[in-house]
């Protein structure tokens, strides 16, 4: 309990975190005349958002018209409500559908943030009424880091998995061309390489690309917009406890800065956008299904659920804490976070098996569905298996296709962990500790499906989403090719994530609710520190950032209009 006079620093809106949701909240508040401060725990701003694909899933967005896809609130609601069921308040879903497109329009009109619609990026549950074959997922346009000046150095670098050879970035749209080797792919790679290597004199003293793409483009564009409005971000400044007044209204938070604990007051409200608890082993074990490990997460290692705990101490309710934005991951020695297998499972010539050597799902499904299948009894540990043709043709984790990135040239750590291989399937099974007879039977059956083009067990490659990560040069089914060419490769894959998705229970404005369902005055949450508006599912590419930005926008709107109202 406190009075305003007791603060070291006072602003109108205090935002905790600096991912995309935090930045949109800060930008909206600044543009509506509020004094804003963002505080960030890590020495870099941007969080997982900066390391992401930067895609947003926004139903009814204005860019869909550019690619000739119609959408309407009714279709979007039927699709989302079929996924969210009883897990999410209907008014939150409706708020998202009504305000996502409004947030995007507002950003386009008031900031440097720009996107293009991804025509072929299909919603993830194509069998549901209201699903679209593309267009709801949008891709940030690349951006030139030069306009950020010295602030570029403080931005979280992209995840290694979204850079060619750990160096050159590409947009989602460019990535699709490269992966499928669509016409023009070779020219594109030459252009990306030329842009990278000819960026002189910069190239002489930094390996980092100044052509920002994906999450770095989104965060770069947002940061530039915040700089225009002189909004500060305090780096290496974790928020700790929330400060309430005598009536229970949240009026500020403690922030560690330069070795001191500061009390920062917030006249209009505190907006929590501090990510999930993916890097707290303790919270993972308390909430997520077992087994679980923080090293299986591809998210930002600073996200340890600090503000989830702080908000619970002031009475906040939580929901969906047993959920994550799941995705099968691998770990590459020496890297601080896991790599998510977005495409590798789906390309033709690979299958996933359990310890009995049996396939157990359609390997081309979206990542959250993949891990939901992995957690079914008997399916862990799980292994990805592929043959020499696959290795030659497609990128895998940090490895470029075999022709460009020969096995024997790889560092010993990669050869030992990532390139376990044998001349026979039985030999590979022995190496991985899985049932040899099971694998032989599974591959023989799968090879028959690949030849006929029909996966009679799991219908892989039979809907537009599956085909996104298929090879259209392979027929009759772009997601199926027989595993026939030795050596055979195999690797254990983990039930990992790109963030947890359960947390503080919020309403349609992003206000945090208490355990009686009443808003806690002055307290808002968005992104992965809040319970997701998408419930236990992942409607489409960008369904984590789209809501994080929309509810950040709504929280700032509510805080600013409420904060100015005479009390």
| Contact residues for ligand FAD, defined by CB under 6 A | 16-19, 21-22, 39-42, 47-49, 51-55, 159, 161-162, 238-239, 273-275, 298-300, 302-303, 306-307, 325, 340, 498-499, 527-528, 541-545, 548
Q: How far is the CB of 306 from ligand FAD (least distance, A)?
A: 4
Nearer to ligand FAD, 140 or 348 (CB): 140
Q: How far is the CB of 447 from ligand FAD (least distance, A)?
A: 32
Name the token pair of 108. Answer: 């386009």
Q: How far is the CB of 530 from ligand FAD (least distance, A)?
A: 8
Nearer to ligand FAD, 237 or 362 (CB): 237
Residue 282 CB burial class (10 angstroms; 0-12, 13-18, ≥19): exposed
Helix (H) or strand (E) holding 85: none
Q: How far is the CB of 473 from ligand FAD (least distance, A)?
A: 26
Q: How far is the CB of 499 from ligand FAD (least distance, A)?
A: 4
- Please state whether the peptide bond connecting residue 487 to the residue before it is cis, i.e. omega within 30 degrees of 0: yes
Q: Are 374 and 495 in contact (CB under 8 A)?
A: yes
Q: CA torsion 515→554→366→493, rounded to 10°?
A: -60
Q: At what angle are helices 90-110 and 20-31 packed, to 10 degrees?
A: 70
Nearer to ligand FAD, 276 or 348 (CB): 276
Coil, strand, or helix at residue 521? strand
| Closest-CA residue to 385 (of 302, 491, 252, 304) | 491
Q: How far is the CB of 547 from ligand FAD (least distance, A)?
A: 8
Q: How far is the CB of 57 from ligand FAD (least distance, A)?
A: 7
Nearer to ligand FAD, 53 or 252 (CB): 53
Nearer to ligand FAD, 239 or 251 (CB): 239
Nearer to ligand FAD, 239 or 434 (CB): 239
Nearer to ligand FAD, 348 or 552 (CB): 552
Q: How far is the CB of 412 from ligand FAD (least distance, A)?
A: 26
Nearer to ligand FAD, 118 or 418 (CB): 118
Q: How far is the CB of 344 from ligand FAD (least distance, A)?
A: 13
Nearer to ligand FAD, 349 or 503 (CB): 503
Q: At what angle are helices 172-180 and 185-197 packed, to 10 degrees?
A: 130
Nearer to ligand FAD, 388 or 541 (CB): 541
Quote the distance between the C-alpha of residue 208 and its chain's center: 22
Q: At what angle are helices 214-228 and 20-31 packed, to 10 degrees?
A: 20
| Closest-CA residue to 221 (of 23, 43, 41, 38) | 23
- Tell me the helix, strand and coil percentages in the chain, rounded to 5: 35, 20, 40
Nearer to ligand FAD, 226 or 443 (CB): 226
Which bin fits 33, alpha (ψ -120 to 50), beta or left (φ > 0)? left
Q: What is the DSSP string of 323-367?
A: -EEEEEEE--TT-SS-EE-SSTTTSTTEEEE-TTS-B-S-TTS-H
Can you tell me the distance from the alpha carbon of 162 to that of 159, in angstroms, rounded to the nearest whole number?
A: 6
Name the token pair of 85. Answer: 């069921």
Nearer to ligand FAD, 308 or 353 (CB): 308
Could you give the C-alpha distances from 177 to 332, 462, 467, in angstroms and in order?
Answer: 26, 21, 13
Q: How far is the CB of 309 from ligand FAD (least distance, A)?
A: 10
Q: Nearest 5 degrees, angle CA 325-CA 328-CA 333?
A: 115
Q: How far is the CB of 394 from ligand FAD (least distance, A)?
A: 18
Q: Are 107 and 20 in contact (CB under 8 A)?
A: no
Could you tell me which residues come within 8 angstroms of residue 561 by beta carbon, excluding any fewer than 6 positions away? none
Q: How far is the CB of 477 from ligand FAD (least distance, A)?
A: 27
Could you tell me which residues come within 8 angstroms of residue 378 by beta carbon, excluding any fewer than 6 positions away? 354, 355, 356, 360
């Amino acid at each position: 309990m406190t009075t305003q006079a007791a603060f070291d620093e006072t602003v109108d809106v205090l935002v905790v975190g600096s991912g995309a949701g935090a930045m949109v909240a800060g930008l909206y508040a600044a543009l509506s005349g509020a004094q804003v401060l963002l505080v960030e725990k890590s020495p870099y701003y941007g969080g997982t958002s900066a390391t992401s694909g930067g895609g947003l899933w926004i139903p009814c967005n204005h860019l869909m018209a550019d690619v000739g896809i119609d959408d309407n609130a009714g279709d979007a609601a039927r699709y989302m409500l079929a996924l969210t069921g009883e897990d999410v308040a209907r008014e939150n879903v409706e708020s998202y559908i009504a305000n996502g497109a409004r947030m995007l329009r507002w950003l386009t009109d008031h900031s440097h943030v720009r996107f293009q619609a991804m025509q072929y990026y299909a919603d993830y549950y194509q069998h549901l009424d209201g699903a679209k074959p593309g267009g709801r997922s949008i891709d940030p346009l690349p951006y030139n880091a030069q306009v950020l000046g010295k602030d570029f150095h403080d931005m979280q670098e992209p995840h290694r998995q979204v850079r060619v050879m750990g160096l050159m970035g590409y947009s989602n749209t460019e990535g699709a061309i490269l992966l499928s080797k669509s016409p023009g792919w070779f020219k594109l790679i030459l252009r990306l390489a030329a842009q990278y290597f000819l960026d002189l004199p910069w190239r002489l003293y930094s390996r980092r690309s100044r052509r920002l793409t994906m999450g770095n483009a989104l965060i770069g564009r947002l940061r530039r917009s915040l700089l225009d409005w002189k909004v500060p971000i305090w780096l290496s400044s974790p928020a700790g406890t929330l400060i309430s007044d005598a009536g229970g209204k949240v009026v500020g938070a403690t922030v560690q800065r330069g070795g001191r604990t500061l009390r920062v007051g917030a006249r209009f409200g505190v907006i929590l956008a501090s990510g999930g608890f993916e890097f707290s082993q303790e919270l993972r074990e308390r909430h997520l299904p077992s087994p679980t490990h923080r090293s299986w997460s591809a998210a930002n290692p600073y996200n340890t659920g600090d503000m989830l705990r702080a908000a619970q101490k002031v009475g906040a309710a939580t929901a969906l804490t047993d959920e994550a934005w799941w995705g099968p991951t691998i770990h590459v020695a020496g890297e601080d976070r896991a790599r998510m297998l977005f495409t590798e499972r789906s390309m033709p010539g690979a299958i996933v098996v359990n310890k009995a050597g049996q396939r157990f799902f359609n390997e081309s499904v979206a990542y959250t569905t993949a891990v939901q299948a992995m957690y079914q009894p008997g399916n862990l540990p799980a292994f990805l298996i592929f043959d020499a043709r696959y290795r030659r043709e497609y990128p895998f984790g940090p490895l470029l296709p075999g022709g460009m990135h020969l096995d024997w040239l790889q560092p010993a750590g990669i050869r030992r962990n990532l390139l376990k291989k044998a001349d026979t399937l039985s030999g590979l099974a022995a190496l991985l500790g899985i049932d040899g007879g099971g694998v032989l039977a599974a591959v023989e059956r799968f090879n028959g499906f690949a030849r006929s083009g029909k996966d009679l067990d799991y219908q892989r490659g039979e809907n537009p989403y599956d085909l996104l990560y298929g090879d259209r040069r392979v027929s009759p089914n772009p997601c199926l090719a027989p595993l026939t060419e030795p050596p055979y490769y195999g690797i254990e894959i983990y039930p990992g994530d790109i963030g947890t998705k359960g947390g503080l229970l919020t309403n349609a404005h992003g206000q945090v609710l208490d355990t009686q369902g009443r808003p806690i005055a002055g307290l808002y949450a968005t992104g992965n520190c809040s319970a997701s508006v998408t419930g236990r599912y992942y409607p489409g590419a960008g369904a984590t950032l789209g809501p994080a930005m929309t509810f950040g926008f709504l929280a700032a709107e509510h805080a600013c209009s409420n904060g100015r109202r005479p009390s």
